[in-house]
Amino acid sequence: MIEISPSALDYFRRLVAQQDEPGVGIRLSALRAGTPSADAKLEFCLPHELQGDEWAIECDGFVLHVESASVPYFDGASIDFTAALGGGQVSIRAPRIKGSAPGSGSMFERVRGVLDEEINPQLASHGGRVSLEEITADLDVVLRFGGGCHGCGMVDATLRGGVEQTLRQRVPEIRAVIDATDHASGLNPYIARRA
């Protein structure tokens, strides 16, 4: 079930009323569903553009069509609209769209999964990467940076501001995150360290 706030209903109703095409509705679909980069897509749709297996939510003034393959990802979702000067913002909260949280498997597997699926794709844009060295008996996660992160002058900010925060959110039992990299030996850092 999708909960649509009164402000979102009113906003969609006004948008649909402005369209020149009879029978225009709104289609909701999940992009890259089940992955960390999942997102929701809202778009206008005409009856001939529908597949016929969409889940239709009849609203006063329009129909919201949810793509059939996306229905499980929007179970428990909410759609809201916040007005602002010059427009506003539609927000969609879909707790299931990114798939299940990394809650199964050993702590080692869960940490490695977060590194592989969320953190390393971001670090790759700077030619960097991070790998899991070990998890100590005290639940300290020991990491080793490579590529452009090895010797980078911003690695401390990357570690504390991004990597550690993401790991702690996804695997809350972590006690500490430790960088075991010998950054003095980095050959091609993204940002050179100051001497």
Instruction: Find the mean pLDDT for residues 146-163.
Output: 85
* 40 neighbors 92 (Cβ within 8 angstroms): yes
Query: Which helix or strand (DSSP H or E) is residue 147 part of?
Result: strand 140-147
- Domains (ranges, CATH) in the chain? 3-93 (2.60.300.12), 107-185 (3.30.300.130)
In sequence order, what are the residues at sequence separation of 6 or more whose Cβ sits closer than 8 angstroms to the Cβ of residue 151? 183, 184, 185, 186, 187, 188, 189, 192, 193
> Residue 134 has what pLDDT?
92
pLDDT band at 103 (very low <50, low <70, confident <90, very high): low
- Give me the chain's average pLDDT, please: 87
Res 194: pLDDT: 67
- Confidence label for 161 from pLDDT (cuts 50, 70 and 90): confident
pLDDT band of residue 138 (cuts 50, 70, 90) is very high
Bridge partners of residue 139, in order along the sequence: none
**Cβ distance 129 to 145 under 8 Å?**
yes
Q: What is the predicted pLDDT for the residue at 104?
A: 58
pTM of whole model > 0.85?
no
On the question of pLDDT at 33 being above 70, the answer is yes
Q: Count the neighbouring beta carbons within 10 Å of the beta carbon of residue 134.
A: 12
Q: Which residue has the higher pLDDT, 153 or 17?
A: 17
How many C-beta neighbours within 10 Å does residue 161 have?
Answer: 11
